[in-house]
């Protein structure tokens, strides 16, 4: 069943067209990758889907509903979460506090209940803490639960950022270059981690990634952008053997 679709999504900045007529379709449970050279428009496509930008033209359809132009917080509440190329954690807060903050999205108590710490608010706080502890354990960070985010190795910081996104209870998780800056061992562990969370959390995953080992090893399908235009889409095998993709990455034909 189709979960996410973009219809001719276009983003222009003045006279520059960053993404042009982007048509994407992702089914529930898939892992789909978006690749392309630097400056191809990949993060702009993410930003249109998550409400950071409103497309100049076209639509974003999620779960059969048009979410074009919705605010990022509304889109998150609807079930779309994302991470960023540059890790955005509360670096001076603990692992637990980072996840607790994300879980507060689901608080139903108002400001009045929170200030007076009424029974309903205290019950919600206990529930959120229990959920946060369970999530931290499931992503393998229980041993560093009280450590500051800034003190974690890079791979665990990335895992924490993903855990924080998972705390919003998404159906669709967007990962922006999750393997950026990782060594080979961390990259291998991350690849397996993405597979595990897709299955355990019943997720659909859409990711931008430059690390071809990750892309080819984990993706069901791949879209390729170049100068804001989709030049190819298909399975990993089809993309590996696509002449236009080879030329976009290498700048020369395969024969040359």
pLDDT of residue 253: 46
Domain extent at residue 80 = 2-88+154-250
Q: What CATH code is carried by the domain that includes residue 80? A: 3.40.50.300
- Which pLDDT tens digit goes with each residue over 109-157? 555 455 556 666 677 778 788 889 999 998 899 999 999 999 998 889 9
Distance in angstroms (rounded) separating the CA atoms of residues 30 and 225: 19
Angle ∠(146,174,186) on CA atoms, nearest 5: 55
pLDDT at position 85: 76
CA-wise closest residue to 225 among 2, 6, 4, 3: 6
Whether residue 133 is contained in a domain is answered as: no
On whether residue 147 sits in a domain, the answer given is: no
- Which tokens sit at 87? 């890790």
Query: What's the token pair of residue 227?
Result: 């100068």
- All residue ranges of the chain with pLDDT < 70 are 104-121, 250-256
pLDDT value at residue 254:
43
In a domain, 243, yes or no: yes
Q: What is the pLDDT of residue 63?
A: 96
pTM: 0.86
**Phi/psi at 58 (nearest 5 deg)?**
95, -175
So what's the pLDDT on residue 57?
97
Which 3 state secondary structure label does DSSP give 144?
A: helix
Residue 9 domain-assigned (yes or no): yes
pLDDT for the residue 119: 67
Position 136 in a domain:
no
| Run of H or E including 154 | helix 154-166
Q: What is the DSSP letter of 94?
A: B
Structural domain count, the chain = 1
Q: Is residue 112 part of a domain?
A: no
Q: Is residue 231 part of a domain?
A: yes
With respect to residue 122, please indicate whether it lies within any of the assigned structural domains: no
């Amino acid at each position: 069943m189709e979960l996410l679709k973009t219809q001719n999504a276009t983003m222009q900045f003045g006279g520059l067209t960053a993404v042009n007529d982007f048509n994407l379709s992702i089914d529930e449970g898939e892992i789909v990758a978006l690749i392309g050279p630097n400056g191809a428009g990949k993060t702009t496509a993410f930003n249109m889907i998550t409400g950071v930008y409103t497309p100049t033209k076209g639509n974003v359809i999620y779960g059969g509903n048009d979410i074009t132009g919705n605010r990022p917080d509304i889109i998150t509440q609807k079930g779309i979460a994302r991470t960023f190329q540059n890790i955005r954690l509360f670096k001076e807060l603990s692992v637990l506090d980072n996840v607790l903050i994300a879980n507060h999205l689901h608080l139903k108590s108002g400001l009045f209940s929170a200030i007076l710490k009424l029974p309903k608010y205290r019950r919600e706080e206990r529930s959120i803490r229990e959920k946060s502890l369970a999530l931290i354990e499931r992503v393998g960070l229980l041993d560093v639960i009280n450590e500051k985010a800034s003190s974690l190795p890079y791979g665990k910081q990335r895992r924490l950022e993903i855990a924080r996104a998972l705390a919003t209870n998404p159906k669709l998780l967007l990962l922006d270059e999750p393997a950026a800056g990782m060594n080979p061992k961390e990259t291998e562990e991350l690849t397996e981690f993405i597979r595990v969370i897709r299955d355990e959390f019943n997720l659909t995953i859409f990711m931008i990634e430059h690390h071809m080992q990750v892309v080819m090893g984990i993706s069901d399908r791949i879209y390729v952008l170049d100068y804001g235009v989709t030049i190819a889409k298909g399975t990993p095998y089809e993309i590996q053997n696509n002449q236009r993709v080879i030329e976009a990455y290498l700048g020369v034909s395969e024969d040359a």
